[in-house]
Amino acid sequence: MITFRLSNGVYAYAAYLVLMVYFLWPGRFASLYDYIEGENIYDQLIRKTTKNISLMRNGLRCDYSEVIEENLSLYRPPYTEDIINNNVRLGGEYYPEDCLPSFSTAIIVPYRQRERQLNQFLIYMHNYLRRQRIHYRIFVIEQYDPKPFNRAKLFNIGALIAMGLDYPCLVLHDVDLMPMNLGHLYACSRKPRHMCSSLDVFRYNLPYRGLFGGAVAIESSVFLNINGMSNMFSGWGGEDDDLYGRLTNKQIEICRFSPSYSQYSMLKHRPEAPNKDRVAFLKNGKLRYHTDGLNSLVYKQVGFKLHNLFTHVLVET
């Protein structure tokens, strides 16, 4: 009996230690993955801008070394509460006027009926992005029909519009994700980048290496090369895994920055209804990569308006 009680005590103590490690050191159980260290981030970024920025001749190039090295944690008041010193241009565009930016980025946000989250997103992101001293513009692509939400199709629509305006870099961004580390520049890297690999709802762990969604940076030329995203994934789930499959099918590797640069917080939201066909679509996705995407995109644009903080594109899918 004594031995039995001691064994139980040992097991209980071991379980207690495991739980303590899990809660105090959550990254211990994360999927291991390669990442780019902070000191190498700038060298991995592609310095490319829109033509109108490239034609500017006044001033020196913007310096990004301090932003990357300091990597300030910015997700806190007052940056989350109101626009600070609002100098955002009509349509949600910004570029610094005291130096020439090295990066032009279109941030594409699929949207429907999340007004509170969108307001939080716009306030914080403009405070965050302007401190990075890049050229950017926020596009909100709103689905204006009662069909199940088609996030990937909205990304495709936004990408075509942004590419038509000469943006060389796309960030495909969910409206409920907030970057916490200022050193994670919103610019494209040599490889497509999964930006939010350290997400609070996953206890800052990466659930699996093939996860490639939430916030993704990808060159416009690469997005064209893989024919964008699938238009078939209505409802929740599958489209990000399909995007990853399109990249691997073309032997295109992805990258991530160090977890200390990739922390994101997710706003609370009501989940979308799952797509019951997502597993089947993923299984036969390879057969459709060249026929389902940007080259098969059909939609109706019912509105286009330049708001103070974003470019609003209203569509029927």
How many Cα atoms occupy the beta-carbon half-sphere of 132 within 13 Å?
28
Q: How far apart are CA 123 and CA 146, in angstroms?
A: 28
Q: Which one, of 65, 79, 56, 73, lies nearest residue 135 by Cα?
A: 56
How many Cα atoms occupy the beta-carbon half-sphere of 21 within 13 Å?
9
Strands 300-306 and 104-111, bridge-based pairing = unpaired
Query: 118: part of which helix (H) or strand (E)?
Result: helix 115-130
- pLDDT (tens digit per residue) in 90-120: 999 999 999 999 999 999 999 999 999 999 9
Q: What pLDDT is attached to residue 295? A: 97
Place of tokens 């910015």: 74
Q: How far apart are CA 45 and CA 188, in angstroms?
A: 6
- pLDDT tens track of the chain, all 317 residues? 444 444 555 555 555 554 444 444 544 444 579 999 999 999 999 999 999 998 887 779 999 999 999 999 999 999 999 999 999 999 999 999 999 999 999 999 999 999 999 999 999 999 999 999 999 999 999 999 999 999 999 999 999 999 999 999 999 999 999 999 999 999 999 999 999 999 999 999 999 998 999 999 999 999 999 999 999 998 888 899 999 999 999 999 999 999 999 999 999 877 767 777 778 788 888 899 999 999 999 999 999 999 999 999 999 99
Q: What pLDDT is attached to residue 17? A: 52
Helix (H, G, I), strand (E, B) or coil at 30: coil
The number of beta carbons lying within 10 Å of the beta carbon of residue 219 is 18
- pLDDT (tens digit per residue) in 167-213: 999 999 999 999 999 999 999 999 999 999 999 999 999 999 989 99
Q: What pLDDT is attached to residue 4? A: 43
For residues 242 and 230, the answer to whether their CB atoms sit within 8 Å is yes
Query: 137: part of which helix (H) or strand (E)?
Result: strand 135-143
Q: What domains does the chain contain, in order, with CATH numbers?
A: 30-316 (3.90.550.10)
Q: What pLDDT is attached to residue 88? A: 98
Predicted model pTM: 0.89
Q: What pLDDT is attached to residue 277? A: 76
